[in-house]
Structure 1
């Protein structure tokens, strides 16, 4: 498997490559000198920075500014395009975000993937690259993220919940894990994440639900897999959060059940 350092990333202001990770792969914390735009083609990635964790399902992209440490985890086989961009270019996002990929941006990235690394900046290739750079700030943000704490005690709790979203342990248990009293834990957790534990855990479950739906799991198995006691309860909260029930979400995103082909 080639890594980004194997490519001439500084030969042009914008350089692209394709890559894929196997299920279970973890790309440990690292940072790039250039901004990175990763466009997911298949599979679901979880990208974690020191500030938040983001879910990247197919047909969405994540923007990672230069110098931002991040880690990637894959629950299934993942294929993606990576675009590395000179940080000296103007008008590019300053913070990490996941965004919906328009048909135009998808086509532009696909076209740039066919270019030689030393493409003609003054010709057609350069015009296409500049159009992509103009379009990136215009893409609507997809709010698929959870804030991560900096306090190591709270971070330990958060990582345990992320590893097992269906866990039903109560706040007293998590306070004991953090070696804090209940009131202290509640206060520090909210100060660190901007939300109460119950709200934060709900965000984790919904992120995990999206990952499982994109992996082809049924709505029923997703509901029970993330800790809900009934499909109706899961459907209700999913609908409130994403504007459509999970069955409609599957249809809208053309998600195939496991074991089927397109």
Structure 2
């Protein structure tokens, strides 16, 4: 794999190839990157693990089957949750003209994943021949893949955000609304009302979505459905399967069959400029 050290000078210049990709080794330590931006567009996602991405309009929690597209110059932050293995594709500003104009989350296809992993082996030099065709495939996939609407908006009020982050870190936590309000040092009424105002969901629905987002990541990792239900705190496996089917229109087992995850990258590269 190419040695792609993603320093600020590299991602903030239009010089060099129109596209370069870094794919990183699995890492057990979480990373947390504060607000920053690039002159290049960026598509990034995970092979394994959960990622949260902050932009001006909110924060998304992204499982391994999704990727986030950020047009050039959009301020963003990123944080991993637990062990993480991911990739980033940086695209020259001129090549972003026909790509989405606003940040969005897209479903990662098997074709996109394989093309990205292929591109991560290239040296930093002008593209030609087969490499130019593979780069065109990546741009076409960003342009045409369906935008995902299933996300997990986070509240901005610090106390609510602290509660939300705790639930993301441990979706199986069984504390009820009153207990979370007490832990967050605010009234039950304030927690209930402000959660709807800031996320668009009531507290119970938001917590269900947090569990389902983690379920997607665990399914992508190949965990048995029974184990996922237990790990996420559902009273029975049937309860988990029924909620999953109502949300996604199919059972967890069927959903997992369609994930078609690519290989996990184990060779070192620097992903610390997501």
TM-score interval, normalised by the smaller of the two chains: 0.7 to 0.9
Inter-partner Cα distance in structure 2 for 1:159 and 1:77: 17
Moved more, 178-187 or 239-248: 178-187
| Contact map agreement 1:112 1:129 (CA 8 A) in 2 | yes
Partner of 1:57: 64
TM-score by length of 1: 0.81
Identify unmatched segments of 5+ residues in structure 1.
256-262
Runs of 4+ with deviation above 6 angstroms: none
1:54-85 per-residue CA deviation (whole Å, 9 max, x = no partner) reads 22315x4321344332223153352x432112
Change in Cα spacing, 1:199 to 1:94, as seen in structure 2 (3 Å) is: farther
In the alignment, which of 27, 31, 40 is matched to residue 26 of structure 1? 31
Aligned residue pairs, count: 251
Identify unmatched segments of 5+ residues in structure 2.
262-274
In the alignment, which of 70, 95, 98 is matched to residue 77 of structure 2? 70
In the alignment, which of 220, 226, 231 is matched to residue 226 of structure 2? 220
Higher relative contact order (CA 8 A, sep 6+): 2
Change in Cα spacing, 1:56 to 1:3, as seen in structure 2 (3 Å) is: farther
1:187-243 per-residue CA deviation (whole Å, 9 max, x = no partner) reads 211111111111111110001111222223221121121111111111100111122
Change in Cα spacing, 1:183 to 1:7, as seen in structure 2 (3 Å) is: same
In the alignment, which of 112, 116, 121 is matched to residue 109 of structure 1? 116
Does 2:264 align with 1:234? Answer: no
> Considering only aligned residues, what root-mean-square deviation do their CA atoms show, in Å?
2.8
Change in Cα spacing, 1:172 to 1:110, as seen in structure 2 (3 Å) is: closer
Inter-partner Cα distance in structure 2 for 1:195 and 1:235: 21
Partner of 2:106: 99
Inter-partner Cα distance in structure 2 for 1:185 and 1:46: 25
